[in-house]
Amino acid sequence: MRDPEPEEERPEPRGTLHPTSAGALTTLAVVGLVAGWGLHPLMDRLVGRPPLVSWVQALALVLVAAIMSFVAWQTWQTVQVRGERLEPHRSVNRLVLARACALAGALVTAGYVGYAISWLGDESALADRWIVRSVVAALGAAGVMLASLVLERACRTDGGRPRP
C-alpha cells in the first residue's frame, strides 16, 4: 500500500464582501416611494384618516443619524487613519449594522418622501404640518443611510496584506 501523497498546503480560503450595491438601494427607494405615496389615500379609505407623522418619529431618525455618524467617524479614525484593527466580532457587528441601516434608511427615506408628496395639493389644514414633518423625517432617514454607507466603508481593510 502506498503512502498518500502529502497535500500541498492551500491558502486559507478568503471570502470577499462587496459594498452595498446602488441597485439594492435604488430598489428599496422605489418600493418606499410607492408605499409612502400610496399610504395616505389607502389609510384615508380604510380607517377614515391618514397616518400621523409626529415630531418624535422625525427627531428619532435625526438622533439615529447622529449616532451612526459618530460610530462611522470613530471606526474610520480607528481603522483607516490609525491603521488599527478592530476585534473580528466588533468589525462584523458594525458591518452588519451598517448594511441593515443603509438599506432601511433608503426605504424609510423614500417612504417619507412619498408620504410628503401625497399631501401636495391637499386642501386639509394639516397638510402643511405633515409635509414638513415628513421632510424632516426623510432627511433624518437619509442621514442614517449616508452615515451607514460611510460606516460600511470604514470597516474595509486591506485583507491582511502588508502596507508598503
pLDDT of residue 118 exceeding 60, the answer is yes
pLDDT-based confidence at 6, cuts 50/70/90? low
More confident residue, 93 or 9: 93
Residue 151 C-alpha cell reads as 460606516
Contact between residue 144 and residue 61 where contact means Cβ atoms under 8 Å apart: yes
Mean pLDDT of 130-141: 96
Summarize pLDDT for 11-46 with one digit per residue, the tens: 665 667 788 999 999 999 999 999 999 999 999 899
How far is the C-alpha of 148 from the C-alpha of 130, rounded, in Å?
A: 26
Task: Output the pLDDT for position 15.
Answer: 63
Q: Select from 68, 35, 58 the least CA-distant residue to 138.
A: 58
How far is the C-alpha of 14 from the C-alpha of 48, rounded, in Å?
A: 56
3 state SS of 13: coil
Contact between residue 141 and residue 61 where contact means Cβ atoms under 8 Å apart: yes
Task: Output the pLDDT for position 10.
Answer: 66
Q: Which helix (H) or strand (E) holds 145?
A: helix 127-154
Summarize pLDDT for 48-105 with one digit per residue, the tens: 888 889 999 999 999 999 999 999 999 999 988 998 888 888 989 999 999 999 999 9
More confident residue, 160 or 42: 42
Contact between residue 51 and residue 43 where contact means Cβ atoms under 8 Å apart: yes
Task: Output the pLDDT for position 16.
Answer: 72
Mean pLDDT of 116-140: 92
Cα torsion for 73, 75, 81, 83, to the nearest 10°? 180
Task: Output the pLDDT for position 139.
Answer: 98
Integer CA distances (angstroms), 63 to 35, 55, 106, 127, 137, in order: 24, 12, 17, 25, 11
